[in-house]
Amino acid sequence: MEEVEAAYEWVEKKLVYRPPMKGWQSALKDGLLEAGVLPYNGFTLDHIYGTKIGVMLFDREGQKHSVVELLKYANSDTIVVYLYAYVHKILFTTKGRPKPKASGVIYQDADRVFHKAELVNKAMNEAHKINRVVLDNPMVGQGMGDNLMNIVVVPFPQPVGVSLLEVVGITKFDSFSEYCAGLSLSYNLTRRSQNHIIEVINSNAFFNYKYTNATAHELFNLMLDIPTNLRPRHVTSTLNLTQFCIDTVMTIWHYHGGCQVGRVVDKNYKVLGIDALRVIDGSTFLKSPGTNLQATVMMLGRYMGQRILRERDEVGEKNEKDLSVSPIEDETNLCSSFPKNKL
Ligand SMILES: Cc1cc2nc3c(=O)[nH]c(=O)nc-3n(C[C@H](O)[C@H](O)[C@H](O)COP(=O)(O)OP(=O)(O)OC[C@H]3O[C@@H](n4cnc5c(N)ncnc54)[C@H](O)[C@@H]3O)c2cc1C
């Protein structure tokens, strides 16, 4: 656990920023406290019950930062980054091995030229052909999930300033609400919304940021007219929160779980039945953790990167010898059945 915590902290130090928390977000924070989403945890990166101020990838100047910036901490002598490269297939070698071993990839560059990149040898051009599937794991793509989201738009005649997801209310019902505002439109984002969202909208703290007659139920009614999905609307939805959530459900774009630990990869994120191939991304999650899935994906990358380096140091020369098996001469290089984005 210490290593996981250290990996989180490393990412947090490099990439995340404290939001400015202006009037609109502050009113929502007070509204959440008034609605009983307690305790107030202040500014924290932890996903804990209560109301908190989270983090964002935008700095004080409004510049967005992204995970790609972490590359600057890599050892430039041992890493090559190909921009606009598209991997078409993973190469495997089976010669003299009990199970297939990943040995490289065929990728296409920005000029649409195909290359072969191998674990040891330098990349070289090669004709592109389709081969048979190496390992058909029927669990690939099974168990995929997403967080459910319901939104409530709160119109307001004055511009309230742009703000992203700064304040978060996390309830013991395993639901949480986040809030962001546009120039003249403010809205609440709620996932598996609970009653507290009604109380926040109706709170004294939020009174100055909505039309005086805009009750939560009227706003729900408004939402039912917005085509968030193709589901039928029910007349009971404005009064029945559960029905409202079913009728207006949306995705939060937190897809995960297509290559789950135990089904497609083992606990070391190694692909079951294949050597020298790991999947380290959101597809391995059994469930979407916390408010910011991306933070956990980045932590996992750092954590596993550290572990792999350490293991390589431990194995030392033995590993060197193992990697020097060249797949070039091997006629059994085959195509993978794994999804393209899991490389
Ligand atoms: C609209 C939207 C809003 C979101 N908002 C948030 C948010 O506010 N907070 C949060 O924490 N998370 C958010 N997420 C979720 C977050 O972005 C994902 O959970 C996270 O990016 C998953 O990381 P990943 O590495 O698993 O996959 P990805 O980030 O999807 O990375 C996969 C990469 O592989 C590349 N790729 C795919 N196929 C190939 C190929 N054949 N060859 C080479 N490269 C390939 C893709 O181009 C991509 O760069 C949001 C997602 C979306 C879509």
Q: Is 294 in the pocket of ligand 1 (CB under 6 A)?
A: yes
Do residues 91 and 79 lie in contact, with contact meaning Cβ atoms separated by under 8 Å? no
Catalytic residue among 88, 128, 196, 254: 254
Annotation marks residue 196 as catalytic = no
Do residues 290 and 47 lie in contact, with contact meaning Cβ atoms separated by under 8 Å? yes
Q: Whose CA is nearest to atom 51 of ligand 1?
A: 253
Q: Is 84 in the pocket of ligand 1 (CB under 6 A)?
A: no
CA distance 11 to 5: 10
282 C-alpha to center of ligand 1: Å?
8
Closest atom of ligand 1 to CA, residue 283: 26
Q: Is 164 in the pocket of ligand 1 (CB under 6 A)?
A: no
Q: Is 11 in the pocket of ligand 1 (CB under 6 A)?
A: no
203 C-alpha to center of ligand 1: Å?
36
Q: Whose CA is nearest to atom 8 of ligand 1?
A: 292
Closest atom of ligand 1 to CA, residue 281: 26
pLDDT given for residue 312 in this prediction: 86
pLDDT given for residue 158 in this prediction: 86
Domains of the chain as residue ranges with CATH? 18-54+147-251 (3.30.410.40), 67-142+256-341 (3.50.50.60)
pLDDT given for residue 190 in this prediction: 54
Phi, psi (deg, nearest 5) at residue 251? -85, 150
pLDDT given for residue 267 in this prediction: 95
Q: Of 67, 341, 342, which is best to mutate to test ligand 1, by the most ligand atoms within 8 angstroms of its C-beta? A: 341
146 C-alpha to center of ligand 1: Å?
13
pLDDT given for residue 187 in this prediction: 56
ipTM above 0.95, yes or no: yes
What are the structure tokens assigned to 9, written together?
A: 């902290």
247 C-alpha to center of ligand 1: Å?
27
Q: Whose CA is nearest to atom 13 of ligand 1?
A: 294
304 C-alpha to center of ligand 1: Å?
18
pLDDT given for residue 217 in this prediction: 83
Per-residue pLDDT of the chain (343 residues; tens, 9 = 90+): 899 999 999 999 999 899 988 999 999 999 999 999 999 999 998 889 999 999 889 998 889 999 999 999 998 998 888 899 999 989 988 888 899 999 999 999 999 999 998 876 443 334 445 567 888 999 999 999 988 888 888 988 888 888 888 999 998 877 788 888 865 455 555 544 567 888 888 899 999 999 988 888 888 899 999 999 999 999 999 888 889 989 999 988 899 999 999 999 999 999 999 999 999 999 999 988 777 888 899 999 999 999 999 998 888 756 544 443 322 223 233 223 222 222 2
| Per-residue 3-state assignment (H helix, E strand, C coil) for the chain | CHHHHHHHHHHHHHHCECCCCCHHHHHHHHHHHHCCCCCEEEECCCCCCEEEECCECECCCCCECCHHHHHHHCCCCCCCCCCCCEEEEEEEECCCCCCCEEEEEEEECCCCCEEEEECCCCCEECCCCCCCECCCCCCCCCCCECCEEEEEEEECCCCCCCECCCEEEECCCCCEEEEEECCCEEEEEEECCCCHHHHHHCCCCCHHHCCCCCCHHHHHHHHHCCCCCCCCCCHHHHCCHHHHHHHCCEECCCCECCCCECCCECCCCEECCCECCECCCHHHCCCCCCCCHHHHHHHHHHHHHHHHHHHHHHHCHHHHHHHCCCCCCCCCCCECCCCHHHC
